[in-house]
Amino acid sequence: MWDIAPEFHAAVVFAEHRFFGKTQPYGDQCCNTTDHFGYLSSEQALADFVLLIEHLKQKKLDGAQKSPVIAFGGSYGGMLAAWIRIKYPHKVDGAIASSAPVFWFTGSKIPTDLCDKITSRSYVDAGCNRKAIEKGWLALRNLSQTARGRSYLNELFHLEDKSRLTSEDDYKFLFQYIKEVFETMALVNYPYPAEFFSPLPAWPVKVRK
């Protein structure tokens, strides 16, 4: 987007999803009742984006009334990009959806472990030892079963007081966090330096000795 926007004299707009960040339809009461959560849906988010497009064209961007609109997104954002093009073709002229699992729903017969398999393959292909990683998960679980082991993990990962492991089941949160780090690195395993939450080198998954 950054590269091609100047070529097309385009405005780049990041739209915040309702119920996230500062976009709270009910203010501080957003999460207090299930009635409010009924308005947290992709359909409502798409309608918000259409209103935003109309507002920008009519009141914020000079000379943009007849400008085409292209939606960009990745992952869930990619799903929204595809759906807004389908549902509002008169408002959105095109969409680029990256890694958008638009068919990945219950009953779709798409393997639910597909992401894990691709992530594992990325690390193995880069020279990682699959068995060593598996043993690491087992060690994490075993250490969390004792107070001494949890203390060791707390120090090893420099966990803040609010995140420290205090019970046998707490390792699941740490496991999920580490798992997401593995997945994110595989996701942005580009051949050039990039930034995704934090600066990353080229080929971040590659084993370095």
pLDDT per residue over 104-146, tens digit each? 888 888 887 888 888 999 999 998 999 999 999 999 999 999 9
Identify which of 70, 114, 115 has the alpha carbon closest to the alpha carbon of residue 96: 70
Look up residue 180 and give its amino acid: E
Are 20 and 74 contained in the same domain?
yes
Predicted model pTM: 0.72
Q: What is the SS3 assignment for 54? A: helix
Are 65 and 119 contained in the same domain?
no
Are 185 and 84 contained in the same domain?
no
Asked, for residue 208, whether it belongs to a domain, the answer is no
Q: 77, 108, 139 — which closes off a domain?
A: 108
Asked, for residue 209, whether it belongs to a domain, the answer is no
Q: Per the structure block, which two tokens stand in for 179?
A: 């798992």
Q: Per the structure block, which two tokens stand in for 120?
A: 């594992």
Asked, for residue 196, whether it belongs to a domain, the answer is yes
Q: What is the SS3 assignment for 144? A: coil
The long-range contacts involving 147-150, CB below 8 angstroms and separated by at least 24 positions, are: none
- Overall number of domains in the chain: 2
Q: 108, 135, 166 — which closes off a domain?
A: 108
The pLDDT tens digits for 145-181 are: 999 999 999 999 999 999 999 999 999 999 999 999 9
The whole domain housing 192 covers 114-200
